[in-house]
Structure 1
Amino acid sequence: MKRGLRRKKTPDAYRERVYRRVAGSGLVSTFVRMVETDLHILASCPVEDPALLLVTETRRQLEHYIADHPLFLESLIPLPDDPQAPPLIREMLLAGRQAGVGPMAAVAGVVAEAVGRGLLARDDVAEVIVENGGDIFLARQVASVVSVYAGESPLSGRVGLRIAAQRMPLGVCCSSGAIGHSLSLGQADAVVVTAPSTALADAAATRLGNEATGRRPVERALEVARGIKGISGVLVIVGEQLGAWGDIELVKP
């Protein structure tokens, strides 16, 4: 949960899911909703039934582990590894330690990737995009452009990330102190992180969103980003300011 301290958020824009606008993908769109989970899936064929089964199993693992380990849900700081936990849980724990945040900061990303990889394991699915609250697991055979929604920033919708086909599968995750309903302690309109692990991209976006504070929030967030092992690239937008680091190609959407 990311809450902004700089100004009131824009819940209407968030509820309308303006960041879900997709153009020219050539893929079939599917929506899967279960309790808090709300996925927009684009795949090479209809996938509603198998995606629903994957979401059900993913949530079952998370809910069972949380029931036995309530600190996993509540902690805002990294937790140690649990060798007895399911792989999904251990991935969240690892992402939290790498990014310096609690494991639940990785939940949207880990769910997106679990569903996406589960669908790719099917013979009839060659390409898939799974978006979960602005966090994306991207697996395409052609280059793709992800447009960045940054709330009230004048740069919102005017900057995109071009992802080359050879870099996929890839996680592309966003945190904001201005939009959404999860906790962010920073000033950023958008912090976007790319990483081979979508769980890590999600956790790192949360950490860097928290770090985007002070007189030079963009520079501060990018400085911290350089110390997070495993992430590929970072984009930070605060008002009219923009900064990027790492293997990232900015384009006009």
Structure 2
Amino acid sequence: MSKKEPVSSGGLKKFRLMYKNSVLKILCDKNLRAVAGRELERNYSLLENYILENPFFLSSYEPVDVDETAPNIVKIMTESTKKVGVGQMAAVAGAFSEVICDFLLGNGAKEVIVDNGGDICLNLRRERVIGVYAGTSAFSERIGFRITPDLGKIGICTSSSSVGHSVSLGDSDAVTVIADSCPLADAAATAIGNEVKGKQGIKNGIKRAKKISGIEGVLIVIDDEMGCWGNLPEIIRI
């Protein structure tokens, strides 16, 4: 199954930022591609250089301490993953989405959607539907979240054991977490996904989600089964 875009452009300007291993798909009401590209490169280089000096930051499955001189993106990743109990790299995609979203909003944009491989940070001015991709599951691209502007800036992040290149120790086709913080949603999706195993997978995942402070809720898909918990936006058929 080919993956569709999670949200239609709906009158927004569409552009892509690519730098080394990062590929960000962006919808925005202002064409800020050039300056956003430079901001991506700047943050990528800061993180890359930090990892060169602190290689354990890259490989740890638990959050490692960082000092006050660490770059802002490192601090963002650290703050999020300490709430979850996973290594900082579990929040890297969500952190880049949020950093670029904040940058665009700070440079005059009013409506922004940044999609970093399924980890989405957005701030809307009109209602939109964000689709859920869950590999070969019957629910894949057939359900979505109705997102309204009153939610403000939020993160919608998905982890999967069957889709993509990120590490997941569970069996889920999709674990989608919504939170005010995109890196927190990213880290939480990874942690919850690791618990989604066997016949009690959805139950175990929801049990883990309830222990994570700061997330709004979670949607879990395994094959033809789906479960959810929390204060989620309306889930609709698409």
Whether these two folds match at TM > 0.5 is: yes
SS in structure 2 at match of 1:232: strand
SS in structure 2 at match of 1:228: coil
2:224 maps to 1:240: yes
Ranges in structure 2 where 5+ consecutive residues have no aligned partner: none
The 5 Å alignment of 1:140-159 reads 140-159=124-143
Which residue of the partner structure matches residue 206 of structure 1? Answer: 190
Give 1:59's match in structure 2, choosing from 30, 44, 57.
44
**Aligned mates of 1:23, 1:95 — CA distance in 2:** 29
Tell me the TM-score normalised to structure 2 length. 0.95
Number of aligned positions between the proteins:
237
Q: Percent identity?
A: 38
**Aligned mates of 2:51, 2:169 — CA distance in 1:** 24
Contact 1:19 1:134 in 2 (8 A): no
Tell me the TM-score normalised to structure 1 length. 0.90
Which residue of the partner structure matches residue 102 of structure 1? Answer: 87
Which residue of the partner structure matches residue 73 of structure 2? Answer: 88
Contact 1:174 1:202 in 2 (8 A): yes
Query: Which residue identity lines up with residue 194 of structure 1 in the other structure?
Result: I
Give 2:13's match in structure 1, choosing from 20, 23, 28.
28
**Aligned mates of 2:8, 2:182 — CA distance in 1:** 23
Structure 1 position 45, deviation (Å): 2.2
1 or 2 for the larger relative contact order (CA 8 Å, sep ≥6)?
1
Runs of 4+ in 1 over 6 A off after TM superposition: none
Structure 1 position 81, deviation (Å): 4.4
RMSD, matched Cα: 1.3
Which residue of the partner structure matches residue 74 of structure 1? Answer: 59
Give 1:128's match in structure 2, choosing from 84, 96, 112.
112
Which residue of the partner structure matches residue 151 of structure 2? Answer: 167
**Aligned mates of 1:187, 1:235 — CA distance in 2:** 14
**Aligned mates of 2:46, 2:151 — CA distance in 1:** 29
The change in CA–CA distance for 1:191 and 1:47 in structure 2 (over 3 A counts) is same
